[in-house]
Amino acid sequence: MKLVFGIALLLLPSIVCSQTMWGGTRAGMSPDEFLSAYPQAVDAGEALRESTESSAYYVLDNVEFEGGSFEGRFFFKENGLEAVNLSFNSRDAQEVAAMSLKLLNSFIAMHGRPPGQEKLESPFVTSHIFTWEVDGVEVELGHMAAGRVHSVDVRYVDKR
């Protein structure tokens, strides 16, 4: 019994480090593991790495997510993958509002209503952010309406 408990304690860090973020990505995965899964990802460059205080920063175009095409940004710190941002941009406000509503309904089905958001009446007329905490990963759905450009952003951030 002590041996089983000891093995479980040794494996705990690897279990804790594998919270799912987006797609096949996991919190804490290395840049090499990420590039093995997504070889088409492009290094964002030193200037962007420094501005985000990331040890590695990759961009992935045309990420399919919930029927839309998003731009993916993947941020790594010394302890591995820390954040994933997926962005859907359009000048068509109705297209963005429809995608926002689709994502909100999907996230509510998976994670329940966001805390403090019991009433969701026309949430995407203006800018709005919804946040869930899921197994140590913060999941954020944001809708931005700024002038003629509208966007939907989904963020996964490792909070451990």
d(CA 129, CA 141): 6
Q: How many domains does the chain have?
A: 1
Chain segment 105-131, per-residue pLDDT in tens: 999 999 988 877 655 555 555 677 889
When pLDDT is averaged across residues 34-41 and rounded to a whole number, the result is 95
Q: Which tokens is 88 given?
A: 């859907």
Q: CA geometry: angle at 121 spanning 72 and 145, to 5°?
A: 40
CA contacts within 13 A on the Cβ side of 54: 23
The residue range of the domain holding 86 is 2-158
- Is this structure's pTM higher than 0.85? no
d(CA 147, CA 89): 13
Pick from 47, 15, 63, 41: nearest CA to 33: 41
The pLDDT of residue 15 is 37
